[in-house]
Amino acid sequence: MKVQVIYHSQSGCTEKLARGIFDGLKCEEKTLHNLADGVPETDGDVILLGYWVDQAGPCKPIRELAESLEGKHVGLFATMAFWCDSNHGTKALQNGAACVQEKNTVIGGTVVNGHMSRKMIDMFRSMGAGPHSANPASEARWELLKDHPSEKEIALVAERFNERIQLLEILREKGVAFPGVAI
């Protein structure tokens, strides 16, 4: 079974996660693609799409690729510099799934914490007052998440995708369709 890990990264968080997932995959045939290097041929049995969260959804390059996929088994992973278990994180994953679920089978997805890029921190600090401006809580969060995604988060995501890929292989051998995951 061929697995393609395709990602787009802004601050390096999604790339770190994508490389960790790729290294942790137990399949024999796998490829890693950074969309910054161009759009690869999507010929894998499983496509794992990685994105940084932009306005509660996938960044534009991943969204455009996701919307073009058809007949694939797709897994989603995302990074965001906010709490991954927040409503914002849930919505970001649901919006990613919405890009692919009509024409593909979603095998799973997850959002993990990422660090805030220095450029973004500087922008928020320069904003003055407002809902997205720097404040003591955001400054503390940025400091706490500065080393994310962590190795434990990366290993967990790789393990989850390995399980889903293994299930897909077992079901194929039995002639049973993967039921898809509602996100």
- The structural domains of the chain, with segments of one domain joined by +, span 2-114+149-173
Work out the number of other CB atoms within 10 angstroms of the CB of residue 179: 10
Residue 143 pLDDT > 80, yes or no?
Answer: yes
Contact status, residue 84 vs residue 42, Cβ threshold 8 Å: no
Q: Which amino acid is at 154?
A: I
Tell me the percentage of the chain whose pLDDT exceeds 70. Answer: 100
Integer angstrom CA distances of residue 81 from 25, 33, 52, 151, 157: 25, 23, 9, 16, 17
**CA proximity to 1, closest of 176, 178, 169:** 169
Residue 71 has pLDDT above 80, yes or no: yes
The CATH topology of domain 2-114+149-173 is: Rossmann fold (3.40.50)
Mean pLDDT, the chain, integer: 94
Q: Is the confidence at residue 120, as pLDDT, over 90?
A: no
Rounded Cα gap, residues 92 and 110, in angstroms: 10
Helices (H), 25-175: 60-68, 87-100, 118-126, 136-144, 151-173
Q: Interior CA angle at 52 toward 6 and 81, to 5°?
A: 145
Average pLDDT for residues 149-157, to the nearest whole number? Answer: 96
| pLDDT over threshold 90, residue 129 | no
Q: What is the pLDDT of residue 128?
A: 78
